[in-house]
Chain A
Amino acid sequence: MVAKFELNDDNVVVIIGSGAGGGTLGNELAQKGVNVVILEAGPRLTTDDFVNDEWESFAQLAWTDARTTSGTWRVAKNFPNLPAWIVKSVGGTTTHWAGASLRFQPHEFKTLTTYGKIDGANLLDWPITLEELEPYYARAEDKMGVTRTNGLPGLPGNNNFKVFKAGADKLGYKECNTGRMAINSVERDNRNSCQQTGFCFQGCKWGAKWSTLYTEIPKGEATGHMEVRPQSRVLRIEHDDAGKVNAVVYVDKDGNKQRQKARIVCVAGNSIESPRLLLLSASSKYPQGLANSSGQVGRNYMRHTTGSVYASFDKPVHMHRGTIMAGAIHDEARNDPSRGFVGGYNLETLSLGVPFMAAFLDPGAWGRTFTSAMDDYPNMAGLWIVGEDMPQEKNRVTLSATVKDKLGLPVADVHFDDHPNDVAMRNHAYQQGRKLYESVGAIRTFPTPPYPSTHNLGTNRMSAHPRDGVVNKWGQTHDIKNLFVSDGSQFTTGGAENPTLTIVSLAIRQAEYIAQQMSVRAI
């Protein structure tokens, strides 16, 4: 029985966002008998609604509300109003993600200690360690059905992986396989196994890829303790005279303004909207925005050091067939400053269809250099770089001074400049990607610039000391004890791993803490 809660019910936990963080947290709390209202800006779709068509799906899923960009990153030039490629629907970006589920490495929780002070980088150790998070990683892997964990077989490698693996072997890489993926390699959890359809980014029509849309959310609803309100666009979080948050004001699916009372508020709108909402909620008591006594809300925006290498061969590859992220190489993920940068990166296969390849291979390019590359599409293989980028205070989400959204609120401006460490890492990865493909006969290689960000991190970061960040080791804001952050914006630093598994693990852990704190009436 799906719950329905009153707007004036001030005992509910209100979660803003239903993706990896919000959707998981909601289910975990509901399983413990805590009443939860999830406010989701996007509509509720089903797997039947998903379409195997890149642009049509983009129009269906992507968060395309106005945003602006600044800084020297190329996204600001080519896609000035699309800093991030993330999703506005129930399930959030777990509908779109590729499924790679990697644990952080031990040193990635201790970057300041490990790397030392680096000019321009606002490095900080996480207030938690890998050992503390390991039990939650294990639970997340079990929940999500991650391949190569818990005895689950790996996925079979597709054509794109075959090229990738052959190149990895030639280069002497030792850690290359079809990855730890939250994609069913066997039927599990009442979900299909992967049918190698491609279109992972467009929503998995088989439901083989884990998404909160058809796992956490219906499971949470089945407890009778969770209500999801789609198409609910949050305007601000309110607080009482004592400074504790007590309500969330939003515009509902019919365009009417509503005010949901709350005992606890958890913000999980991804790393652009979450800080924006805290900033939009400024009041006379909190003139810099909620939970912003440190001035760190919106700062330290990270997006991983990314990029792609595509390569064309003299024979067909048909990389579009099968799992989009069909394998990974971990050999470069270690911290080895002798390469000319700190931190590391993973290489993961990636493919795009013709419509997106045209848009992203070399944005803005035209003429025969570009079209001859497109003509090679059937013979192309491709990989994606995902590496740790440096947190920088000046890389930040702010409220636009000039552009307002349809509701009259300032949109988010996303400023980003690469750190020299990011540039050195990307160039190293481009070179390794080129060598990898050339070792198996590539005719041409294409160092493709980063896409609009899919991994948005760090804008409400975790810190041991309140002066250094926004939330503590539980994702609880330093300033307001019943206000939490439950998405990737908590990340103190980004690691070299795709972030979803860590977001889910933190959400499971946070749910335990919130339930415990509620039971002792601490919040």
Chain B
Amino acid sequence: MTEHKHHHDHSHAPSSLSRRIFLRRSSGVTLAAAISVTMGGALLNAEESWALEVKGLRPETLKTLILLSRDIYPHDRIADRYYAIAAKPFDQKAAADPAQKEMFEKGVAELNALAGPGGYVAVPWEADRVALLNKISSTAMFEAVRSALVVSLYNQKEIWPLFGYEGESYSKGGYIHRGFDDLDWL
């Protein structure tokens, strides 16, 4: 409830994405491996054909925050790009406010220190990463990330179909002729 704004901003993704990668994660590639840092300091996910400019944080920090976002709200059917969109405001906040930047950078550095060699993104099992998150779950950074994500992830209209949620209905005349009482299994 701390965040009332809409999050419709998008990463630099080509508009003609194939159906396969429109929503679902591609199989077989871990998120840590799927996202690379380019020479220019952007994040690139070649499999899903998107790139994300990084302006306020270290690119590796934002990459970690994207993985952390998936670990906080893991939906296997949702592609990385939507977690990237959800996490992008952290970079924007860091660019606009040095105190926010310090919070994210310090918070991620602490998480990486807890994780050991290679940092958080190198921990292969989700359960082990979640154990690390439990250790930092009372920190200001974790709560800032989680409370923003609960809006910036679930308020993306593009992922609503995965939840069977149909969104706006007034323009279609409501559901009076479109299944408001179509349940037939009782």
B-binding residues in A (CB < 8 A): 51-56, 58-59, 64, 78-79, 81-82, 156-159, 162-163, 166, 194-199, 205-206, 315-318, 320-322, 353-355, 357-359, 364, 366-368, 370-371, 374-375, 377-379, 440, 452
Chain B residues 155-184 with CB under 8 Å of chain A are 155, 160, 163-171, 173-176, 178-183
Residue of B nearest to A375 (CB): B75
A197 near B175 with CB under 8 A, answer yes
A162 near B183 with CB under 8 A, answer yes
**Complex Cα spacing A373 to B67, Å:** 21
**Complex Cα spacing A194 to B177, Å:** 12
Chain B residues 69-104 with CB under 8 Å of chain A are 72-75, 77
In the complex, whether B135 has a CB less than 8 A from a CB of chain A is: no
CB contact under 8 A between A195 and B73, given known A52-B168, A320-B165, A440-B186: no
B74 near A318 with CB under 8 A, answer no
B170 near A52 with CB under 8 A, answer yes
Q: Which residues of A contact B6 (CB under 8 A)?
A: 55-56, 59
**Chain B interface category by residue count:** 35 or more
Q: Which residues of B contact A354 (CB under 8 A)?
A: 154, 160, 163, 165
Task: Among B72, B165, B181, find the residue whose CB has the most chain A CB atoms closer than 10 A.
Answer: B181
B174 near A197 with CB under 8 A, answer yes
A322: which of B2, B167, B175 is its contact (CB, 8 Å)? B175
In the complex, whether B21 has a CB less than 8 A from a CB of chain A is: no
**Complex Cα spacing A226 to B185, Å:** 53
Task: Among A321, A359, A368, A379, find the residue whose CB has the most chain B CB atoms closer than 10 A.
Answer: A321
B74 near A79 with CB under 8 A, answer no
Nearest 8 Cβ contacts at the A-B interface: A378-B164, A197-B174, A195-B174, A322-B180, A358-B154, A196-B180, A52-B168, A159-B183
A166 near B154 with CB under 8 A, answer no
**Complex Cα spacing A58 to B176, Å:** 25
In the complex, whether B144 has a CB less than 8 A from a CB of chain A is: no
21 A-B contacts (beta carbon < 8 Å): A52-B169, A55-B155, A59-B4, A59-B6, A79-B1, A81-B2, A159-B181, A166-B186, A195-B173, A197-B169, A198-B175, A316-B164, A318-B183, A321-B175, A321-B180, A322-B176, A354-B154, A358-B153, A366-B72, A367-B130, A368-B74
**Complex Cα spacing A55 to B166, Å:** 15
CB contact under 8 A between A317 and B170, given known A198-B175, A374-B75: no
What is the interface of chain A mostly: helix, strand, loop, or mixed? loop
**Complex Cα spacing A10 to B136, Å:** 61
Residue of A nearest to B149 (CB): A366
In the complex, whether B146 has a CB less than 8 A from a CB of chain A is: yes
In the complex, whether B37 has a CB less than 8 A from a CB of chain A is: no
Q: Which residues of B contact A162 (CB under 8 A)?
A: 181, 183, 186
**Complex Cα spacing A218 to B180, Å:** 32
A197 near B183 with CB under 8 A, answer no
Residue of B nearest to A364 (CB): B146
A55: which of B4, B77, B178 is its contact (CB, 8 Å)? B4
What 4 new A-B contacts, CB under 8 Å, besides A197-B173, A322-B174, A353-B167? A163-B183, A199-B170, A378-B163, A379-B164
**Complex Cα spacing A159 to B164, Å:** 14
B154 near A355 with CB under 8 A, answer yes
Q: Which residues of B contact A198 (CB under 8 A)?
A: 169, 174-175
Residue of A nearest to B155 (CB): A355
A196: which of B164, B167, B176 is its contact (CB, 8 Å)? B176
**Complex Cα spacing A477 to B125, Å:** 65
In the complex, whether B5 has a CB less than 8 A from a CB of chain A is: yes
**Complex Cα spacing A53 to B169, Å:** 10
